[in-house]
Structures are given as C-alpha cells and as structure tokens.
Amino acid sequence: MGLPLVSPHYVYTHTGLPLRQGMVVVATDEHDAKVILPNNPTKKLWLFIYWGQIQERMLKFFENPAFIVLIASMFSNNTAIGQQSSQQWKLVWNDEFEYTGLPDDRKWNYDVGGHGWGNNELEYYTAKRMQNARVENGHLIIEAIREAMEGKEYSSARLVTRDRASWNHGKIEVRAKLPKGLGTWPAIWMLADTRPLKWPEDGEIDIMEHVGYDQGRVHGTIHTLKYNHTIGTQKANQINVNNCSEEFHTYQLEWSQDTLKIGMDNQYYFTYTNEGSGYSAWPFNNKHYLILNVAVGGNWGGSKGVDTTIWPQRMVVDYVRVYQKN
C-alpha cells in the first residue's frame, strides 16, 4: 500500500525542525521510509509497526544529526496524515549516541563513589573513565569490571542527567541490552531532583531492574514514603524477557498527572495510580532525573552471591528519548 508524502513544511510544523530545501520524506509501504535529497542518494530509515498500524516515531537522518524527522501516525485505512491530535508526543530530549568517546557532557553527569549506595553494592563508580562508560559504534557502553578500584573489588559507572535535565510527566524510552550473570544488577531508573533529596519521601521510579540470579525477569517498581522496599510495601510488577541479554528491548515509562505506567516494547505491565492520599503516596509531581547504571552484588543483586569469573559485564544502550505532550 502506498502512503503519502511528508513535506518539509509538515515536518517543521509538527517538530519545529526545518529540513533542507528540496528534502521530502516518502513512506513507501508499511515497512520503510526514505528521505530524498536533491543530488543525493535516497536514505532508508526505520518505521515501527504494531498491529498493522504505523505508530508515531522519531526517525533520524543519519548523515546529519541536526535533522530529526517525525512521521505521524498513518493507518492502514488511509487516515489523512494531517489529522493529528494536539496531544501527540513530542521529543524534548534525547541521546542517540551517534558519536565516539565519553558520554556527552552536556547531557550526562556521574555519581561517583564506593560507599555501597544504600544497598551494600560492591563496585566503585567512576567518572569520565572510558573503561567504564563510553560511546562506540552507535551505542553507550556501561561496563562493570573486576579490578581493584579505590578499595573496592569492582569498577563501574552510574550516569545521571542530574544538573543537566529532569522532568515531571512525559514518556521515557531507553533501548538497551542487559548484562548477564550472577551478581549483575543493571538499572534504568529515576530519582527526584529535590535538594536535598529525601528518600523515599521524594519518590523513585524504577523503569527497569534485572538481577542476574533471576535471568530473564525484568522488574518495574515505584518507591514512596508509604510504599517502599525497606518496609516491604513497594508497588511493583515483573515481565519475563528471556532474551534481554541477547537482544535490544525498549524499556518505557509513561507518566501523567495521576498515573505511572512501566512497560517494555509497548507492552505496559505495571500501572501505579495516584490514590489521592497525599505526598506520602504520590510525590511524582516532583521533577525526576534519569539514572543508568550497572551495580555489582548488593542486597538484592548479590543475595545469591557473585560469580567472580563472568566479568567484565556491560549494559549496551542504543538510545535514550524523552517525550512530552504538546
């Protein structure tokens, strides 16, 4: 089925990002799209298909990262492309990792230290150390290594957007492949951007956690003063992802005024709703910043022990994207 052209004016109207003169985007069928440039070869991009429908996605023109193209939802019943909801998601922050070296300092900061991080973790988190956090081949690598580091037996990295960016409400997508093995504990999560932070009063959102002794089970969790793991009341759910260490999956949070939904690959398996009992149960009007890390051992990750023969282990991140409603 042929699908309509997307003009540069349409892209500018819906993204605020102008395209070069003469550039158009053509959706040739349900499975791919092309950017056509004057005097340049066609460049194929990606579309994502769900239930026979082309969902709204950001497509990147790889030859020039300044151009980000939005192809709006196009349905198999030939719904007009101009019929757009005023409440559609708009990309407001992202890192596609299309560079090489240390993570972009304009977007990422570091938590540094080896004090156990409240969980008796075994690693020392470093800053701006390529062995533990680097970008290569279009991916962010966060790598835990067994080595002597500042009195600890392991080194790793914990990247944060604190002092760079934080959000309250929106949609977050992190496409990642997880480490594997006894003692690994990767996480994609958020803490409140409050100063000073009071935990758990100010909130925590765990978009993805995985512990190596329970391979293939991914957890989504929230923590508040009323609901947190220290008193055994945390709100959580799990999903089985047998190939989470072999294949990339997109770990997601949708966050509205009164609801948090945590999912993977557009399958939302955990929902937490504001019960109306106050700040102790809903601190999620606070802005939160994003955290990506690989812990070693700890109260949960190391509760069945740590295999000392499996290291190094890495979490590989394809992209991080944050959307908000127009």
Lowest mean pLDDT among 24-28, 105-109, 273-277: 24-28
Structure confidence at residue 68 (pLDDT): 37
Task: Select, from the ranges 2-16, 44-58, 80-94, 279-293, the one with the highest average predicted confidence (pLDDT).
Answer: 279-293
Q: What is the pLDDT of the chain when averaged over all its residues? A: 82
Catalytic annotation, pick one of 209, 247, 254, 275:
209
User: Average pLDDT, stretch 300-323?
Assistant: 98
DSSP of 272-324: EE--SS-TTT--TTS-EEEEEEEEEB-TTTTTT---TTS--EEEEEEEEEEEE
pLDDT beyond 80 at 50: no
Question: 109-325 — its CATH code?
Answer: 2.60.120.200
Model pTM above 0.85:
no
DSSP string for residues in 182-196: TTEEEEEEEEE--SS
Residue 312 near residue 134 (C-beta atoms within 8 A): no
* Residue 204 among the catalytic residues: yes
Which residue spans of the chain are classified as CATH 2.60.120.200? 109-325
Query: Is 209 an annotated catalytic residue?
Result: yes
Quick one: average pLDDT of 25-36?
43
Name the residue with tokens 């198999």.
Answer: 76
Q: Residue 326's pLDDT is what?
A: 76
Given a cut of 70, whether residue 24 has pLDDT beyond it is no
199: helix, strand or coil? coil
Half-sphere exposure of 75 (CA within 13 A, CB side): 7
Catalytic residue among 96, 204, 247, 254: 204
Strand-pairing partners, residue 146, are 154
Is residue 179 within 8 Å of residue 245, measured between CB atoms? yes
